């Protein structure tokens, strides 16, 4: 069954059934990915364009691998940061891609809403690989997939997401997705990075990490953009790390063998200690593997034929 949509732009707009269908398909895809010969003819003759306006190694590579395993042809367009005054506009680039008859476009762009903008123009499907601070649906889906793999049914589980939630598309997408699956989500960060307006996501918001750790099944650290310090959003890495860094000592407060996650790339010693990052609790590498499976699932569900890949 294909998804009844042209694009995957965010988890806010997705319903639970669709999320479950994607996770289910990703399980099959992971099986294929784990085979010694991982190549399918399923998407032979389909073209997937990676359009990346922001530097990204892991997400772009992950999408590229996913498309290739499924047999699609991939093209990568890495564009230097878009400029309002010079260079081709996203609108014109979209028209060009349209004319080249691509089947699917993966977009990473620094502007919130850019994926929807592109999707409105293109007949081809669009997968949002991160639009500004808005959403990063494939990251959230791979996070959810990884949590389920480890914890089983997520309903009623407690997930703590800590860091710069204000500027984080990962936090937003995870909040939407997890909420829909009945997870208790808590967003944590200093008041400057987890301000009141984040209450719009309908999840718990707090500034005190230690108080919400007891009972946490998952603790996810977000990458801290170090340049935020210059904007005055936090005073020092030292204090940030002291209040919000994941350490072995701090994680004991959960009272259980909690799962630790990070979307990468990590600032070791800032939001996560070396010890935690390399511990058995941390599923960070598994997140990367699962990322390929999730992206395979999405590409297949959007542009795959009616043929069942499992058969």
Number of DSSP helices (H) and strands (E) in the chain, helices first: 11, 9
Nearer to another protein, 81 or 248 (CB): 81
- Is residue 90 at the binding interface for another protein, with CB under 8 A as the rule? yes
Does residue 81 contact residue 53 with C-beta atoms inside 8 Å?
Answer: yes
Please select the residue that binds another protein; options are 1, 37, 80, 84, rule is CB under 8 A. 84
Q: Name the token pair of 277.
A: 């990052």
The answer to whether 67 and 43 have CB atoms below 8 angstroms apart is yes
Give how many residues touch another protein by CB under 8 A.
Answer: 29
Q: Are 162 and 196 in contact (CB under 8 A)?
A: no
The residue among 94 and 301 lying less far from another protein, judged by its C-beta, is: 94
- As measured in angstroms, the least distance from the Cβ of 10 to another protein is 9
Nearest to another protein of 169, 223 (CB atom)? 169
- Residues pairing with 128 in the sheet: 107
Structure tokens at 95: 């028209």
Angstrom distance (rounded) from CA 95 to CA 100: 9
- From residue 119, alpha-carbon distances to 64, 66, 101, 220 in Å are 20, 21, 14, 30
Which C-beta is closer to another protein: that of 37 or that of 196?
196
Among 109, 157, 262, 295, binds another protein (CB under 8 A): 109
Cα torsion through 49, 59, 172, 33, rounded to 10: 100
Please identify, among the stretches 36-44, 96-104, 111-119, 233-241, the one whose residues bind another protein according to the rule CB under 8 A: 111-119
Contact flag: residue 223 with another protein (CB under 8 A): no
User: According to the binding rule CB under 8 A, does residue 229 interact with another protein?
Assistant: no
| 98 lines the binding site for another protein (CB under 8 A) | no
Is residue 68 involved in binding another protein (CB under 8 A)? no
- Cβ 80 to another protein, closest distance in Å? 15
Give helix 16-33 / helix 169-180 axis angle, nearest 10°.
110
Question: Residue 148's CB: how many other CB atoms inside 10 A?
Answer: 18
Angle at 120 between CA 114 and CA 126, to 5 degrees: 65
Q: Does 63 contact another protein by CB under 8 A? A: no
Residue 296 CA to residue 240 CA, distance in Å, equals 37
Cα–Cα distance, 117 to 119 (Å, whole number): 6
- Give the number of other Cβ atoms within 10 Å of residue 35's Cβ: 10
Between CA 222 and CA 265 the distance in angstroms is: 9
Task: Give 84 or 99: the residue with its C-beta nearer to another protein.
Answer: 84
Nearer to another protein, 131 or 217 (CB): 131
Name which of 111 and 225 has its Cβ closer to another protein.
111
- Candidates 30, 68, 157, 172; binder of another protein (CB under 8 A) is 172
> Is 197 near another protein (CB under 8 A)?
yes
Q: By CB under 8 A, is residue 112 in contact with another protein?
A: yes
> Which x/- pattern, by CB under 8 A, does the window 147-166 give for another protein?
-------------------x
Q: Which stretch binds another protein (CB under 8 A): 108-116, 218-226, 251-259, 292-300?
A: 108-116
What is the binding site for another protein (CB under 8 A)? 12, 82, 84, 89-91, 109-114, 116-117, 120, 131-135, 166, 169, 172, 195, 197-201
């Amino acid at each position: 069954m294909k998804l009844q949509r042209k694009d995957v732009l965010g988890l806010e707009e997705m319903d639970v059934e669709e999320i479950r269908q994607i996770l289910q398909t990703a399980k099959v895809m992971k099986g294929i990915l784990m085979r010694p010969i991982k190549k399918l003819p399923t998407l032979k003759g389909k073209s997937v364009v990676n359009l990346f306006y922001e530097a990204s190694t892991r997400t772009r590579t992950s999408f590229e691998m996913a498309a290739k395993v499924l047999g699609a042809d991939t093209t990568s367009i890495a564009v230097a940061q878009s400029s309002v005054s010079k260079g081709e506009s996203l609108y014109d680039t979209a028209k060009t891609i349209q004319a080249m008859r691509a089947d699917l476009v993966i977009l990473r762009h620094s502007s919130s809403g850019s994926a929807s903008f592109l999707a409105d123009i293109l007949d081809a499907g669009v997968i949002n690989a991160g639009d500004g601070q808005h959403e990063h649906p494939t990251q959230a889906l791979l996070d959810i997939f990884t949590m389920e793999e480890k914890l089983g049914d997520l309903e009623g589980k407690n997930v703590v997401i800590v860091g710069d939630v204000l500027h984080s598309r990962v936090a937003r997408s995870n909040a939407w997705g997890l909420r829909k699956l009945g997870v208790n989500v808590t967003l944590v960060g200093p008041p400057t990075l987890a301000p009141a307006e984040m209450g719009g996501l309908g999840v718990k918001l707090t500034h005190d990490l230690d108080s919400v750790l007891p009972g946490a099944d998952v603790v996810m650290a977000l990458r801290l953009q170090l340049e935020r310090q210059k904007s005055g959003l936090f005073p020092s890495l030292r204090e940030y790390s002291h209040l919000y860094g994941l350490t072995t000592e701090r994680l004991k407060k959960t009272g259980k063998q909690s799962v630790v996650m990070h979307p990468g790339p990590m600032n070791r010693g800032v939001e996560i200690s070396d010890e935690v990052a390399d511990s058995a609790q941390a599923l960070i590498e598994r997140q990367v593997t699962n990322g390929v499976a999730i992206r395979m699932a999405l590409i297949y569900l959007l542009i795959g034929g009616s043929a069942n890949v499992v058969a």
